[in-house]
Amino acid sequence: MSDLLETLAPEFVFLVQSMGFTVIDEREDPQCFGNAYVVLHSRVFDLMITRDRSQRFVYIRNKNDERKLSIDLRQVGTLICTVVDVAA
């Protein structure tokens, strides 16, 4: 488990613990306003969770499309539940 993921976005820990996601990249820069990111990988899509000057953002990328979709963090839970239900 990634300590940075637990600090940056604890609401996403279940993706690694229960949904088969893996942490493929992470970085924190305490000298630069505490900016950080964690990239989670699944067979369906990737999530990049970032903290930029205390604001959190989530970028979602479908495996078949290189474009990233930026979405408000509060909406991500709803989106993930929908995708998981469809994939099941």
Model confidence pTM above 0.75? no
Domain count, the chain: 1
Q: Give the pLDDT score at 84.
A: 63
In the chain, DSSP finds a helix count (H) and a strand count (E) of 3, 5
pLDDT in tens, 49-69: 988 887 888 888 877 766 666
Give every residue of the chain whose pLDDT is below 70, as ranges: 1, 65-77, 79-80, 82-88
CA angle 5, 29, 42 (to 5 degrees): 30
Cα dihedral 66/63/77/10 (nearest 10): -90
What residue numbers bound the domain in which 8 lies? 3-87
